[in-house]
Structure 1
Amino acid sequence: MAETRRPARQTRPPARPGGSPAAAGTPGTTGTVLTTLACLAAACAALLLALSTGGGLTPSVLGDPGALVRYGLPLARTVHDLSASLAVGGFTVAALVLPHPSAAWSRVVRAAGVGAGAWTVSALAVLVLTAMDVIGAAPGAAGFGAQFAQFAQEIDLGRALLVTTVLAAVVATVGAAATRPAGSAWGAVLSVVALVPLSLSGHASGSASHQTAVSSLGLHLVGVTAWVGGLAALLIALPLTGRRAEAGERAVDLPAVAARYSALALWCFAGVALSGVVNAAVRLGGWSGLATAYGALVVAKTAALVLLGALGAWHRRRTLPLLATSPRAFWRVAAGELVLMAAATGLGVALSRTPTPVPEDVPGADPVSDLLGETAPPPLTAARWFTQTSPDLLWLLIGAGLLVGYLLGVRALHRRGDRWPAGRTAWWVLGCLALLFVTSGGPAAYGRLSFSAHMLQHMLLTMAVPPLLVLGAPVTLAMRVLPARRDGSRGAREWLMEVVHSRYLALVGHPLVAAALFAGSLIVFYYSPLFELALRTHVGHELMMVHFLGTGYLFSSVLIGVDPGPHRPAHPLRLILLLATMGFHAFFGVALMQGTQLLAADWFSQVAPGADLLADQQRGGDIAWGIGEVPTLVLVLGVAVAWSRSDTRENRRRDRAAERDGGRELAQYNAMLARLADHDHDHDRAPEQPREG
C-alpha cells in the first residue's frame, strides 16, 4: 500500500494580540515596549540633569513642601506632556494620515485614547502637586482642603490646570468611543483645545509681552505634541502596515503613510522653531540672558531641535526611499528620533521650572501696560492709526498663511494651463492685507484702549474684511488645486468637503441663521460680561476675533458668495435680508449713541483714566451707525451685479438650448399661449343659456 503524505503545513506570520499578523520586517509588541521605556528613561534623565544644573531641586527657604513636590511635580509634568503628545499626535495621524477602516487606524486611535487617559491622571497629579507647591503644605495639613479648593477655583494657574484635567478626560471619552474618522478629528481638535490653558500658565502668564508669549507658547505646544505624538503613533501603526488587508479593511501603504507624516512633521518643526525663537526672545531679554541657567537650558533645547531637524532631513533622504524593502531601518531611526524627542520634552519641563532672566512682573510698571500685557501705545492720532503696530503672532501666521497658500494655488493652476480670474486674486490679497492691518496694526494697538477705537476695529473686521475674502472664492480654488486621496484616508481636500457639506454648516449657513448670528451677536456680546472678558483676557480677545470674522464671512457668503455651500436665497430675497439686517445694525448704533449705560466701565476707566467714557462710547455708536453704510452699499451693489450676471447666464443658457433644439421651448410656449387665446375666444362666443322659470 502506497504511503500517503499529508500536505505540508503552511506557516503564518506571528500574530499580534488581537489576531492580526505583524508585517514582515517590523518589530512587534516587544519593540514598542522597549521604545516606550527608553523614551521615559531619556525624558527623566534629561529632566533630573537639567533641574540639578538649574537649581530646580534645591529646597525653598520659605514654605518648602518637601521632596515629594520637588521631584514628583517635574516627573508628573513629564508624564503629562508625553501622554498629551500621544493623544494629540495619535488623533492627528488617525485623522490626516491613516486610511479608514484599517487595523492600523484602530490601533492608533486606541493608543491615543490610552494616552488621553494617562494625560487625565497625570494632569490631576500635576494639579494636586502644584497646589502643594503654591500652598507650601501637604494634603494632610490643617486647612489644606479649603486652600486647595480656593487654588483650583480662584487662582488663574489652578483654574488652568483644572480645565486641562477636565478636557483631557473628555478627550479620553471621545477616544474610547471613536470608530470613524470624524471621531478622530474631534479627538484631535479637543486635545488641541485642552492645550490652551497650559499656554496661559507658567512663564507665559507674566505681564511682559503677554500676548506674544501666550501665542508663541500655544503654537509651540501644538507643534511639539503633534510632532512627537505623531511619530509615536506611526511607530505603533508600523507593525500593521504593508500586509494584506482583511475583509472590510483597507490596505495601509507604509511609504505613503510615512510621506504624509513627514510633511506634517516638517510643518511642526517650522512651527516649533519659530515659536521657540519668539518665546526665547521674550524671556531671555537679550543675549546676556544666555549666560544664566535658563539660557543654558534654552541652548540645550535648541541643540536638540537642530539635531532633530538634521535627523529628519537625513530620514527623508535615506530611509524613506527604503521603506518598501527595509522597514526595520526606518524603525531604528524613528525610534532613536523619538527617544531624543522625549529627552527634549524633559528639558522643556525643566525649563518651565527655572526662573527666567526677565522678571515676569515688574514692580512699579505702568498700570495700563500691566493690564494690556504689553507696552501701551502713544496717544491716538490719525497718522498713528495707520503707522502704530501691535503684532499678534497668531493672526500674523493666519493672514500670511492664507495669502501665501492662495497665491501658491493660483500658481499651481497656471502651471498646469488652467485659468483663474485675476479679480478674485486681487480681492483675496486685499482681504488678507486688511485682515493683517485690523489684527496687528493700529486697530489692534488702540482697540482695547477706547470704545470708539474698538468699535472701528470691530466694524472693519466683521463688515469690511469678510466681503473681500468671500469674493476671492477660496473653496473653489482649493477644490481645483488640492489632490484627492484614493486609499481611504482624509487629507485637506476631503476634510474641506466634509465641512462644506456638513449639517452644522448647513444650519449656521442658512440665510436666516447667518443673519441672526451676524446681527444678534452684537447685542449678546456687548450687553453681557463677554465684552469685558474679551478685553481682559487674551483667549477671550482671540475668540472674539474669530467669532466676528466668521459670522461676517457667513453673512457675506450668503449674499455674494460663489463658493459651494449651503442654500442661497433668490436675489430679491437677498436684498430684503440685507436691508433688514443692516436696519437692525443701524438700530444698534443709534442705541449706543443715545444710551447712558457704560459698557465695560471698569476696564475703560483703568486703561483711560480721566477720559469722558460716555462721550467716547457715543462716538463708537456713531461709528457703528455710519461705517455700516459703506459696506452695506458695497453688498447691495454686489447682490445687484450677481443678480444681473445670473440673468445673463440664464438668457445665454436659453439661447444655447434654442440653438440645439431649433427653438422648441419657445415654440411650445407660443403654442400654449395660442391655446389659451382660443379657449378665451370660444368662451366669449358661446350663446347665453336661457334662465329657467
Structure 2
Amino acid sequence: MTSATVATRTTRTTRTVGAIGAVSWAVFVALLATSLTGALAPLGVPGLPDPGTITRVGLPVVQTLRDLGAMLTVGTLVLASTCVPPEPGDDEARITGVRARLVAVAQLGATAWVAMNGLLVALVYSDASGSAVGARGFLQEAIFFARSYELGQYLLWGAGLSAVVALGCATASRTATLGALTVVSLVALWPVALTGHAAGTLSHDEAVSLQMFHLVGIGVWGGGLVGLAFVGARLGPTLGTVARRYSTLAGWCAALVTVSGLAGAWIRVPDVASLVSSYGALLGLKLTAIVVLLLAGLWQRRSLLAQVAAGRTQSFWRLVVLEVLVLLTAAGLGVALGRTDPPEGDGASTTLTLTESLLGSPMPPGLDTAGWLTRWSPDALFLPVGLAALTWYLVAVRRLRRRGVPWPWLRTACWITGCVLFLWATNGAPATYGRVLFSMHMVQHMTIATAVPTFLVLGTPVTLALRTLKRRDDDSRGPREWLLQVVHSLPAQLLGHPIVASVLFVASMVAFYYSSLFGLSLETHTGHVLMTVHFVLAGYLFAECVVGADPGLTRPAYPLRALLVMVTFGFHALFSVSLMASTTVLARDWFEALDRDWGAPLPEDQYLGASLGWALGEYPLAVMAVALLVSWVHADRRERRRFDRSELREDDRQLRAYNDYLQSLSRQSTKPGASTMTVVSATDEDRSPE
C-alpha cells in the first residue's frame, strides 16, 4: 500500500469522524437546551395522555437531523451551482469533478432529509395526540393524520420535495439540472417553515415568511460552509476564488439571518419582560451565536481570504471549523426553540375569536375612501421582495450611469411604478381587506396580474441585468450566466410562446375562481403566496411576448401582437361580465364565517368586485396598447433605415432589379394597344432622409 493511499484513507476517516462528531454535537445541544426548558419531562397533568420517552426524546433528535440534512442539501447545491468552476478541460455544461462530489454530498443530505421527515410524521402525531409510538392502531392513525391534517400534510410535502431532490442528485449529469435541483431544494424549505416554531403565533403568516428567510439564510450559509470543508482540499489553486465567492454569499445570508431572526423574535416576544424566560434565554444564546459568526465572517473577509490566495490556508481552515461548530450550536438551539412555547406577556389573552383564528389578525375596521391609501398590513414575504427589486434596479441604473452608459428614464419610471403597485397590492389596502371583501381581493388580483407585470416588462430588467452583472471568465455560473440560462431555456420558451402565455393568462383566472383554489388562497398562507406568484409570472410572460424588449423570447409580428391583446382582454372582459351575472357567491362559507358587521352584503360586494375587475383591466390594456404602438413605429423606422443603408451600400441593387423586371415585362407584351409600364428610377433626393 502506497503512502498516498494511506494518506487518502486517513483523510477520509478523519472527515467521517469529524462529520459524526459535528452531528452529535448539534444533537447534544438540542437535547441539552430542550431539557433545560423542561420539554423532555413528562407532562404530569392528570387526564392528559403522555406520548412516552421515545417521542419526547426522539422528536428533538429527529428534527435536528432533519434540519441538518436540509441545511447540507441546500448549501452544497448552492455552492456547486454558483461558486465552483469546472475543472480544466471539463465540459462546463456537465457535472464533473468537485461539483460532482458536492452533488453526492447533497444527495446524502437529501436522503437524510426524506427519512427524518418520514419519522417526524409519526413522532409529531404521537406528540399531538399523546399516543405512544407502537401502540395498537398507531400506524393507521399516523397515516390518517398525515393525509387529513395540515401539519401532517406539510410534513408529507416536505418529504416529497426532498425526495425529488435526492433522486435528482442521484441522476443529474448536467449543470442546468443542478440549477433546477437548487431551486427545488430552496422551495422544500417552505414546509419546514410551516411546521417550525413560527407556526403557533397569532401573526402566523408573518412568522412563517420570516422563518422561511431565516432557513434560506442559515441553509446556504451553514450548508455551503460544510460543503466547502468537504471539497476544500480538492479545489487546489481555485480555493481562493471559491472562498471569496462563498464569503460574499455568506455575507448576504448573514444579513438575512440576522434581520429575519430579530423580526421573528419581535413577533414572538411580546415585551421586554418576557425575555426573562426559558424562551428568551434560548433566543439570547442563538443571537450570541449569530454575532460570533458575523465577527468570524468579518475577520475572514478582511484578512484570511488574502492568506488563502497566497497559499496559506491553516488559519482559514481553523476558522471554518469554528464557524461550523457555532452554526451547529445555533441549529440545535433553533430546535429547542421549536419545542418551547413563546411567552404570553403580561395580560395577554389566549382566547381568540373565530375571525382572529381565521385571519391571524383582528378584523380590520370598515373601509372608507381614505383607507385605500392609509390602511397597510406589511407582508413579511412580499415587502422585502418588492423593496429588493426596487433597490436593485436603482443601483443598477446608477452603476450604468457611472460608466457613462445612458439608460432611458421612461424605463426607470415604469419599473418604479410596477414595484410601487406591487407593494401597494401586497401590503396596502388590497392586502388588508383582500381576505375580508371579495371586491378588494379582485383589486389585488387584477393589480398583480395585469398592471404590475405590464410596467415591470416595460422596465426591461433582463437587459439591465445583463449590462450590469459581472461576467464569469472561469466557466462557472454566476447570476448573469444563470439569467441567460433561464431566459433561453426550453421551459421559458414554451411558457413564453404567445399562444401558451395567452391561454395561461386567461384560463388560469377562470380555473382559479371557479374551483376550490380561490377558497384555498383565502384559507391558507401557502395558497395566497402561490396565487400571487403565479399571477405575477403569468401576467409577466403575456406582457413580455406582447410589448417586451428583453432578449430570450421569440415574439410574433406586430399585427399578430395587436390581435393577441384584443382577443385576450376580450376574454378577460367576458369573464368579468359572467361573474357580474352570476348569482352564486364564491367562497361563501369563508366570508360568512368572518361575521363581518360592516360593508355591503356578499352578493353586492361580489358584483362590485367583478365590476372593478373589468375596469382595472382597462388601464393596463391602454398602457400596453400605447407601448405596442410606439414599439411598432420604432421598429418600422429601424427597418426603413436598415433598408436605406443597405441600398446605399449596394448602389440601389433592389431598385435596379425591380426596374429590370418591369422592363422585361414590357418587352414580353405582344398585345396591340397594351399599356406601357412606367420604369421607376431613383435619385438621391427620392431616398428617405432617415
Same-fold call, TM > 0.5? Answer: yes
- The alpha carbon displacement at 1:178 in A equals 1.5
* Mean Cα deviation higher: 217-226 or 139-148: 139-148
Q: RCO (CA 8 Å, sep 6+): is it higher in 1 or 2? A: 1
Alignment partner for residue 56 of structure 1, among 39, 45, 52?
Answer: 39
- Equivalent residue, structure 2, for 1:118: 112
1:128 counterpart = 2:115:
no
Equivalent pair of 1:28/1:239 in contact (CA under 8 Å): no
In 2, distance between residues paired with 1:362 and 1:187? Answer: 44
1:474, distance to aligned residue in structure 2 (A): 0.5
Distance in 2 between the 1:421 and 1:682 partners?
60
Contact 2:201-2:268 within 8 A present in 1 as well: no
User: SS where residue 188 of structure 2 aligns?
Assistant: helix
The one of 631, 634, 646 aligned to 2:623: 634
Alignment partners' CA distance in 1, 2:33 and 2:4:
48
Question: Which residue of structure 1 lines up, in the alignment, with residue 189 of structure 2?
Answer: 195
The reply to whether residue 273 of structure 1 matches residue 273 of structure 2 is: no
| Residue 644 of structure 2 is aligned to residue 655 of structure 1 | yes
User: What is residue 248 of structure 1 aligned with on the other side?
Assistant: none
Cα distance, 1:480–1:64 mapped onto 2, change above 3 Å: same
1:597-621 CA-partner distances (Å, limit 9, x unpaired): 1111111112254652111111112
Tell me the distance in 2 between the aligned counterparts of 1:364 and 1:560: 52
Determine the structure 2 residue equivalent to 1:93: 79
Residue number in structure 2 paired with 1:342: 328
Matched residues in 2 for 1:231 and 1:382: separation? 52
Alpha-carbon distance between aligned partners in 1 of 2:143 and 2:587, rounded to the nearest angstrom: 29
Question: Is 1:619 the equivalent of 2:619?
Answer: no
**Structure 1 position 600 matched with structure 2 position 587:** yes
What is the CA–CA distance in structure 2 between the aligned matches of 1:643 and 1:684, rounded to whole Å?
47
1:488-543: CA deviation from partner (whole Å, max 9, x where unpaired):
21111111111111111111111111111111111110000000001111111011
Q: 1:362 to 1:662 in 2, by over 3 A?
A: farther
User: What is the CA–CA distance in structure 2 between the aligned matches of 1:47 and 1:583, rounded to whole Å?
Assistant: 59
Of 135, 150, 155, which residue of structure 2 is paired with 1:141? Answer: 135
Q: CA deviation at 1:14?
A: 6.8
CA distance in 2: counterparts of 1:161 and 1:362, whole angstroms: 30
Question: Would the aligned equivalents of 1:84 and 1:116 in 2 still touch at CA under 8 Å?
Answer: yes
1:399-444 Cα deviation digits (max 9, x unpaired): 1111111111112212222121121111111111111111111111
**440-449 vs 61-70, which deviates more?**
61-70
Aligned letter for 1:653? Answer: R
Amino acid in the other structure paired with 1:332:
R
After superposition, give the CA deviation of every residue in 1:297-322 in whole Å (9 maximum; x if it has no partner). Answer: 00000000000000010011121111
**Shift in Å, 1:459:** 1.2
Structure 1 counterpart of 2:307, one-letter code: L
Q: Which amino acid aligns with 1:189?
A: V
2:207 matched to 1:220?
A: no
8 A Cα contact 1:42 1:340, kept in partner: no
Contact 1:575 1:639 in 2 (8 A): yes
Report matched runs for 1:40-439 at 5 Å.
40-61=23-44, 62-100=48-86, 101-206=95-200, 208-242=202-236, 253-324=238-309, 325-358=311-344, 363-439=350-426
Shift of 1:683: 4.8
Contact 1:177 1:183 in 2 (8 A): no
Query: Does structure 1 residue 541 correspond to structure 2 residue 528?
Result: yes
Structure 2: distance between partners of 1:557 and 1:619: 30
In structure 1, the partner of 2:20 is 37
- Name whichever of 298-307 and 94-103 sits farther off: 94-103
User: Is the 1:38–1:339 contact (alpha carbons within 8 Å) kept by the matching residues of 2?
Assistant: no
Q: Which residue of 2 aligns with 1:671?
A: 660
Secondary structure at 1:270 match in 2: helix
Q: Offset of 1:102 from its aligned partner?
A: 4.0
CA distance in 2, matches of 1:674, 1:660: 24
- Residue 678 of structure 2: aligned partner: none
Kindly indicate whether the alpha-carbon contact (under 8 Å) linking 2:121 and 2:142 is maintained by their aligned counterparts in 1.
Answer: no
* Pair 207,77 (structure 1): closer, same or farther in 2 beyond 3 Å: closer
Within 1, Cα distance between the matches of 2:242 and 2:398?
Answer: 27
Q: Which whole-Å deviations, capped at 9, do the CAs of 1:330-355 have from their partners, x for residues lacking one?
A: 22210111011111111110011011
1:241 counterpart SS class? helix
Find the residue that maps to 2:381 and give its secondary structure: helix
**Which residues in structure 2 correspond to 1:549-560 (within 5 Å)?**
549-560=536-547
SS of 2:343's partner is coil
Work out the CA distance in 1 between the residues paired with 2:271 and 2:611. 45
Please give the alpha-carbon distance, in whole angstroms, between the structure 1 residues aligned to 2:194 and 2:349.
18
Is contact 1:390–1:445 with CA below 8 Å preserved after alignment? Answer: yes
Q: For residues 295 and 207 of structure 1, what CA distance do their matches in structure 2 show?
A: 15
Q: Secondary structure at the match of 1:28?
A: helix
Q: Which runs of 5+ in 2 are unaligned?
A: 87-94, 675-690
Structure 1 residue 373: deviation in Å?
A: 1.1
CA distance in structure 2 between the partners assigned to 1:568 and 1:608 by the alignment: 49
SS in 1 for 2:551: coil
Number of residue pairs aligned between Structure 1 and Structure 2 = 657
Residues 646-678 of structure 1 deviation map (CA, whole Å, 9 limit, x = unaligned): 111111112222333333333333333333344
Structure 1 distance, partners of 2:512, 2:413, is 33
Cα contact 1:35–1:335 (8 A) shared by 2: no
1:682 alignment counterpart? 670
The answer to whether the 8 A contact 1:47-1:346 is kept is yes
Once residues 61 and 617 of structure 2 are traced to their aligned partners in structure 1, the CA distance between those partners, rounded to angstroms, is: 55
Change (3 A) 1:427 1:684: farther
Q: Which residue of 1 aligns with 2:89?
A: none
Residues in 1 aligned to 2:453 and 2:583: alpha-carbon distance in whole angstroms: 32
Aligned residue identity for 1:68: I
Alpha carbons 2:205, 2:525 under 8 Å: kept: yes
Counterpart for residue 576 of structure 1: 563
In structure 2, C-alpha distance between the alignment counterparts of 1:276 and 1:112, rounded to whole Å:
26
Q: Is the 8 A contact 1:228 1:341 kept in 2?
A: yes
Deviates more, 1:634-643 or 1:35-44: 35-44
Give deviations 1:171-202, integer Å, cap 9, x for gaps.
21111112221232222222222221121124
Deviations 1:254-301 (CA, angstroms, capped at 9, x unpaired):
111111111111111111111101111111112122111100100000
CA contact (8 A) 2:158 2:189 kept: yes
Deviation at 1:44, TM superposition (A): 2.6
Q: Secondary structure at the match of 2:365?
A: coil
Q: In structure 2, do the counterparts of structure 1 residues 677 and 409 end up closer, same or farther at CA, with 3 Å as the change threshold? A: farther
Q: Percent identity?
A: 43
Paired AA for residue 288 in structure 1: A
| CA distance in 2 between partners of 1:44 and 1:625 (Å) | 57
Shift of 1:69: 1.8
In 1, Cα distance between the equivalents of 2:415 and 2:284? Answer: 41
Q: Give the Cα separation in 2 of the matches to 1:218 and 1:683.
A: 85
CA contact (8 A) 1:449 1:608 kept: no
The TM-score, its normalising length taken from structure 1, stands at: 0.91
Scaled by the length of structure 2, the TM-score of the pair is 0.92
CA gap 1:390/1:684 in 2 versus in 1, 3 angstroms: farther
Separation in structure 1 between the aligned mates of residue 408 and residue 649 of structure 2, nearest angstrom: 29
Instruction: Give the superposition deviation at 1:205.
Output: 2.3
Instruction: Please give the secondary structure, in 2, of the residue aligned with 1:323.
Output: helix
Q: Which residue of 1 aligns with 2:548?
A: 561
